[in-house]
Amino acid sequence: MVIVGSDRIAANGDVANKIGTYSSAVVAKAHGIPFYVAAPTTTIDPDCPSGMDIPIEERSEDEVCFTWGWSDDGHFIRVRTTPESSSARNPAFDVTPAHLVAGIITEQGVVDASPEGIASVARQS
């Protein structure tokens, strides 16, 4: 199985977490590996209907357009890795749809990544 954390869980079971979580869920599904999310019930936002409603933090495009490394003359320098005319988006999180999540592990037990499962633990917290 795969177990990841979460920064926010929507009322329908969609999960926002660090970039790469969604792709891990897709690969797990493709290989028949259960994908679980471990998070405290405080992560659940019953007022957020779905992952589409979760605001995603955008970081500086410089993190994508530049890197640091050693030059031939021994200096540690910042180097552009994209064409100067290129821009970039740099979201800090991605959203994993509930249908890829086998269950959400909380301090109250494991619940389905569904509106009913989320509601069952949101009511108790």
Which sequence positions are flagged as catalytic? Answer: 7
> Nearest Cα to 4, choosing from 32, 30, 43?
43
How many CA atoms, within 13 angstroms, populate the side-chain half-sphere of residue 32? 0
Collapsed DSSP state (helix, strand, coil) of residue 3: strand
Is the distance from CB of 14 to CB of 96 less than 8 angstroms?
Answer: yes
Return d(Cα 122, Cα 91) in angstroms, integer. 28
* E strands present in 12-118: 15-18, 35-38, 44-45, 66-70, 76-80, 93-96, 103-106, 109-111
